[in-house]
Amino acid sequence: MNTAMPFLRKIFIKTYGCQMNAHDSERLAAMLRTFGHEIVDCEDDADVYILNTCSVRERAEIKAVGKSRYLSRKKLRKNNALLGIVGCMAENLAENLFKLNPGIDFIIGPRRISELPAILAGENVGRVALLGEAHSEDAGESARDFSSAKICASVSIMQGCNMRCSYCIVPKTRGPESYRPMDSIIAECETLVQNGTKEITLLGQIVNNYGQGVLEYGSGKSPFVQLLERIDDIAGLERIRYMSPHPKGFREDLIEAHSSLSKLCPSVHLPIQSGSDRVLRAMRRPYTRARILSIVESLRAAVPNIALTTDVIVGYPGEREEDFSMTVDLLNAVKFNMAFVFKYSPRAGTLSASLPDDVGADEKDRRNKILLDMVQKCSIGHNETMIGHGVEVLVEGHAKRGENKLCGRTRGGDKVIFDGQDRLIGQLVNVKIMDSAITILRGKLIEI
Ligand code: 5AD
Ligand code: SF4
């Protein structure tokens, strides 16, 4: 029998990248706590530093490598401290990371994160790299700390991505798609709701691919829509969101779900990437601008005020001025509430990495700025239209600034700040919008 005391650690986790990564960090923290480790908010208090990293653009990697070098200097001043890189950059740069920063002790890819507690169990960790495969039965989705269930929680429904968009590193870092069993997702949602969660965001690289080729269609409904229907039935849950769908599989059943499911929020993040069919083809995105316009038209017919957001890449190899104009044109035609604009960043190991990155930094900057200006105007315009209206807000907590200020979101996803008492946190309230800025709305509680 092993009677040795487990080696308990104070662990600091810093997260880069998308919601999926934030969710992985949450799960990782919960898992480590169950092993008796403590998660600390301040790196100075820690004896294990973990960076959960992103590889989607070069800049994200440069930042994380820089931070790791800073932490490895800090580590030298402590006895027995450890530095680990987990997540997408760990998978992408693999053992090269040990060369970039010899102070790194372990690297763990996104599919192997649940093996971290075992690594920390020993006093002498040594150099470890856990990369590649490993999708557990439940796609790595067991640990969750329900005792601290949040008002708005994320639930991962799948891992990985089967598409091959020419620019994207994610299929390399997160591997092929694997789907969680539907019953397990439902059970997790139910337990969250029993513990106080009011809003659930379903997460996946392409959520509307959920269950494809594995689960059956029923009455013309995709497995993803069937999942939405079952979650919509959970008593006590108020809102459902999902992130992100792909335009490719955005069919009538999902559009119809937006009008028939009362808890499904009227907001969709629909990444278009470009408005030029030529560039979309080059990116291997299997849809056209006409298809985007038709999805938007159907969504708006089903839910008139649906909030639409998107992702766009500028400066893809060979993107000509006329291609860019088509993107401007599509953004103008759709009037997204918000768009995230990215300058193309070549990623080694992707299909487009072999193409000349020929748009040039200055031109990418110019195109980026034009789109950001447009987006800002759209966002300001949208926020102004909200003034004077009463909206339903799910109160998430205290606003970052201001005494007695609470913050929450509308069903469309707009952030609202208003005066109110703590007892309202976790409740749905009605707020009249009085004023707006670029990213927030300010309002007044409507007493009932
Ligand atoms: N360069 C720039 N942006 C990228 N994205 C993905 N890969 C790249 C890349 N190589 C953007 C896409 C995606 C978002 C998460 O990041 O717009 O939707
Ligand atoms: Fe998320 Fe993609 Fe970045 Fe990985 S590479 S953290 S999946 S955005």
**Do 122 and 208 fall into the same domain?**
no
Please say if the pLDDT value at position 7 is more than 90. Answer: no
**Averaged over 121-133, what is the pLDDT?**
85
Give the pLDDT band of residue 6 (cuts 50, 70, 90): low
Would 2 be classed as within a structural domain?
A: no
Report if residue 109 sits inside a domain.
Answer: yes
Question: pLDDT tens-digit profile of 414-428?
Answer: 999 999 999 999 999
Domain identity same for 152 and 223: yes
Q: Is the dihedral of CA 40, 105, 113, 163 positive or negative?
A: positive
Q: Based on the fold, state whether residues 51 and 99 are members of the same structural domain.
A: yes
101 part of a folded domain: yes
Ligand nearest to the CA of 55: 2
- Give me the CATH number covering residue 411: 2.40.50.140
For the cut 50, the answer to whether the pLDDT of residue 152 exceeds it is yes
Same domain, yes or no, for 367 and 403?
no
Same domain? For 59 and 42 the reply is: yes
Nearest CA to ligand 2 atom 3: 54
Taking only the tens place, the pLDDT of each residue in 272-331 is 999 999 999 999 999 999 999 999 999 999 999 999 999 999 999 999 999 999 999 999
**4 in a structural domain:** no
Ligand lying closest to the C-alpha of residue 283 = 1
How far apart, in whole angstroms, are the C-alpha atoms of residue 194 and residue 76?
A: 45
Residue 17 Cα to ligand 1 midpoint, Å, equals: 11
Give pLDDT, residue 121: 85
| CATH code where residue 341 lies | 3.30.750.200
Q: pLDDT above 90 covers what percent of the chain?
A: 88
Domain housing 89 = 10-130
189 plus 149 within the same structural domain = yes
> Which of 115, 130, 145 is the last residue before a domain boundary?
130
Distance 343 CA to ligand 1 centre (A): 8
Tell me how many degrees the CA angle 150-156-161 measures, rounded to the nearest 5.
150
pLDDT for 401: 85
Helix (H, G, I), strand (E, B) or coil at 351: helix
CB distance 21 to ligand 2 below 6 Å: yes
Which atom of ligand 2 is closest in space to residue 88's alpha carbon? 4
Instruction: Identify whether the C-beta of residue 256 lies closer than 8 Å to the C-beta of residue 303.
Output: no
Residues 84, 174 within the same domain:
no
On whether both 260 and 350 belong to a single domain, the answer is: no
Q: Are 263 and 232 in contact (CB under 8 A)?
A: yes
> How confident is the model at residue 141, as a pLDDT?
59
Predicted local distance difference test score (pLDDT) of residue 362? 98
Same domain, 167 and 240: yes
**If you take atom 16 of ligand 1, which residue's CA is the nearest one?**
56
More confident residue, 104 or 140: 104
pLDDT digit string, tens, across residues 14-36:
999 999 999 999 999 999 999 99
Q: Using CA atoms, how far apart are residues 183 and 265, in angstroms rounded to an integer?
A: 22
Q: Whose Cα sits closest to atom 18 in ligand 1? A: 311
Query: Looking at the predicted structure, is the pLDDT value of residue 242 above 70?
Result: yes
Mean pLDDT of the chain: 94
3-state class of 364 per DSSP? helix
Question: Is residue 3 included in any domain, yes or no?
Answer: no
Does residue 138 register a pLDDT over 60?
no
Determine, yes or no, domain membership for 282. Answer: no
The band of 145, judged by pLDDT with boundaries at 50, 70 and 90, is confident
Asked if residue 180 belongs to a domain, the reply is yes
Clarify whether residues 380 and 391 are in a common domain.
Answer: no
Phi, psi of 428 (to 5 degrees): -95, 125
Question: Does residue 264 register a pLDDT over 70?
Answer: yes
Residue of 21, 86, 163 best suited for mutating to test ligand 2, as the one with most atoms within 8 Å of CB = 21
Please indicate whether residue 51, judged by its CB atom, sits closer than 6 Å to ligand 2: no
Whichever domain contains 53, its CATH number is 3.40.50.12160
CATH number at residue 206: 3.30.750.210
Whether 124 shows a pLDDT value over 90: the answer reads: no
pLDDT over 90 at 136, yes or no = no
Same domain, yes or no, for 155 and 77?
no
Query: Where is the domain boundary, 130, 157, 173?
Result: 130
Residue 79 shares a structural domain with residue 151: no
Asked if pLDDT for residue 2 goes beyond 60, the answer is: no
Nearest ligand 1 atom to the CA of 347 is 10
Task: Name the pLDDT band for 1 (thresholds 50, 70, 90).
Answer: very low
pLDDT digits (tens, 9 = 90+) for 359-405: 999 999 999 999 999 999 999 999 999 999 999 999 999 999 888 89
Residues with CB under 6 A from ligand 1: 56-57, 167-168, 271, 273, 311, 313, 342, 344-345, 347
Of 100, 130, 160, which marks where a domain is finished? 130
Total count of domains within the chain: 4
Q: Report residue 139's pLDDT band, with 50, 70 and 90 as the boundaries.
A: low
The mean pLDDT value for 71-83 works out to 93
Q: What is the pLDDT of residue 5?
A: 57
Alpha helices (runs of H) in 347-395, residue ranges in sequence order: 361-386
Query: Which pLDDT score is estimated for 134?
Result: 78
Ligand 2 atom closest to residue 16's alpha carbon, by position in its atom list: 6
Residue 375 lies in a domain: yes
Site to probe by mutation for ligand 2, drawn from 14, 16, 26, 55 as the one with most ligand atoms within 8 Å of Cβ, is 55
Radius of gyration (Cα) for the chain, nearest Å? 23
From 15, 26, 53, 54, give the residue whose CB has the most ligand 2 atoms within 8 Å, as the site to mutate.
54
Which residues partner with 15 through β-bridges?
Answer: 52
Q: Residues 421-444: what's their mean pLDDT?
A: 95
